[in-house]
Structure 1
């Protein structure tokens, strides 16, 4: 079937932006994504309904079958979601969640402590953003519920620590992939003053959005810096009751019955990532293993091990008749997230076929002052990631473009330009309702998806505005330190301006 080529037409952005606009306006995510998919396939097939239906079928089949062979990465993510739902449900039915929340209430004295605990867990679970959002959500949710922290605040903390930490760490699924991409680009443009690892570290130091997004999380957690609809939802949370934690009173639950399964989940996932990555190596190295790891298989393995650990640790605390119910409740809790995720993947396929990324990349053209290049690439990468819902896809498209443009305009800007792309990709991913990480952070927090999107947006845009100032300073001075200082100064100014409109603190 011949598809219409939209690589040079503004129509290429219509399906993605239509879905985004409808999601924000109507707050009905499934309907909005569905309309975006349908409009996209009709545009691609010239408005022929039957051809559009056939292409939609190909997109659905392509989630598990591509190029004449099984492609099980996405189904494994869906399976991991089901396993994690069962995992958390068993912990709830056994009373372990309640026991941990009771323990935390004795040792964590206030709402601030609950939020800081959640934020600090990223230093343990930074190996993968999916894993972080779901695992930390399962660990922290009973604690934040106990202290009346809103689910929207929990989702924000999960989302704004996941991708920013992963993109900064070389020993993560993100870092390893980016380093592999950099190795090829450095060879292509004959750049010898950097090793791939050295280039990655330099780029991380200039990734102002990721660095200051993490700083902003701790500012928000410690000072209860609530702006926009976050303040409203935080006030509402003070009177909110989450009945799912009342299934068991925790009298039979034990704290170790939560801690041990969570540790098993984390350790077994890391071990599986190392093992699957090592299979592709002749000589083992940690970085090489993470570069070649099969993240999705590792997540499924970790999920299975976590459930087995829960079963062993909760023998006698769950009635035999309650096990089927616990499994069903856990799976059912994930059905909404799975449906959203599948539709997000479908619209991502539409966006790819529409060549939205290629069209957006053509917007950077003509003669420009080299000093503006990092700033422009940051904005473009942000728009591209927002429209496509993927950081990784933006990396794949924009890093080569950034390298080529900087080598042509000013070779000394190659590292600043590529760091700006990395920052913009994370920024756009944070803001996008169709981003995998945004969806999974809502899932991990069990928060309404649009509530998460709308409450996170003011924080993400504030950091993005500050980072824009940093990339302007970086482009004209070529100094990473001046760019960092400019970002910090701009963010402090924005926080002070927004603080004057902030309601009274809740902590």
Structure 2
């Protein structure tokens, strides 16, 4: 789930990352440009589908899979669930949330606001009444758009559930406080991350690191994306939060590289990818804790089975960032294609070798 969140423009993760952008810079546009270089997230998603289709596991997970095959216990009888819930009641709120969050974001970007005469002649020619969709999406305020979209989706879902008699009004109202409680850790993490960012800014940490890099790091400048990825991994692992890692490293990446530099985009992507990787490996991460709790499995065993997969993708991503660092001078698109192709080739080779090893 985390790799999907970190490459989804319409998400609270995107809003958090966008908030750390430099002054006068479009944070959402910066986030979108960084998506193709988020190798850990992209490779992890591809990796999971490959494991499913190739039908094998390795590491601690393979031991538990073999144990299940040996036991071969029949499935427990399903509980007699009383209610009228269907798949529609699961899909509808999610689809409604996506639609209204998208509408909320372009609304905050001025898409539905009539253009002032002479404001943008090019846009007026293309659309004489309203702002351009892409321009509105790029200029949107993700925090406002997500709040408006979530609130609209909540109201509509409550109405639909009431009409279909899936949940009573009282049951729906009891669910709302539980939702607020579930968001408290995320709100605290984000608030503390902003506090830490403000503190490091006041101490001049970003300026100091930028000066050190400018003065002595020219020799390994091409290795910086890979180095940032590793630092983000250990930082997120130690703290158990990817959002806090964003708050520490992204402002430093922005201070080191000038606007328009390809390494700026690659380094920010490396920071986000490393933060998610460290989050996957950390036993104190909130996402890892929720995953084991949701699956109702032992937390330590969940971490042990997940760790080999996360480390494997981390190594391949690290190598891809080295390639991206050395090919950045070719431009954004060529560098992305070359490094991504290298990563896919490394991933394919790794899967073939591991499958043969598991068979033996």
Distance 1:310 1:456, change over 3 A: farther
Residue in structure 2 matched with residue 227 of structure 1 by the alignment: 58
1:466 partnered with 2:316? yes
Distance 1:271 1:472, change over 3 A: closer
Residue in structure 1 matched with residue 348 of structure 2 by the alignment: 492
Residue in structure 1 matched with residue 264 of structure 2 by the alignment: 414
Instruction: Please give the residue correspondences for 1:347-496 in structure 2 after superposition, counting only pairs within 5 Å.
Output: 367-368=216-217, 369-407=220-258, 411-478=261-328, 479-496=335-352
| Alpha-carbon shift at residue 176 of structure 1 (Å) | 4.4
TM-score (ref. length: structure 2): 0.68
Higher normalized contact order (CA 8 Å, seq sep 6+, divided by chain length): 1
Q: Aligned match of 1:217 in 28, 48, 52? A: 48
| Alpha-carbon shift at residue 222 of structure 1 (Å) | 1.6
CA distance in 2, matches of 1:233, 1:474: 37
Distance 1:277 1:344, change over 3 A: closer
Instruction: Please give the residue correspondences for 1:109-120 in structure 2 after superposition, counting only pairs within 5 Å.
Output: none
| Alpha-carbon shift at residue 274 of structure 1 (Å) | 5.5
Instruction: Please give the residue correspondences for 1:138-287 in structure 2 after superposition, counting only pairs within 5 Å.
Output: 162-179=1-18, 181-182=20-21, 184=22, 187=24, 199-238=30-69, 239-240=72-73, 243=76, 246-248=78-80, 257-270=85-98, 273=101, 284=112, 285=136
CA distance in 1, matches of 2:268, 2:50: 28
CA distance in 2, matches of 1:343, 1:173: 14
CA distance in 2, matches of 1:371, 1:421: 15
Which digits, 9 at most, give the CA deviation of each residue in 1:392-433, with x for residues without a partner? 22222211111222349x955222222211211221122222
Distance 1:215 1:176, change over 3 A: same
- Aligned residue pairs total 315
CA distance in 1, matches of 2:52, 2:17: 30
Distance 1:293 1:484, change over 3 A: same
Distance 1:343 1:474, change over 3 A: closer
TM-score (ref. length: structure 1): 0.50
CA RMSD of superposed structures (Å): 4.5
* SS of aligned partner of 1:463: helix
CA distance in 2, matches of 1:466, 1:383: 16
Distance 1:290 1:498, change over 3 A: farther
Distance 1:220 1:451, change over 3 A: same
CA distance in 1, matches of 2:46, 2:357: 21
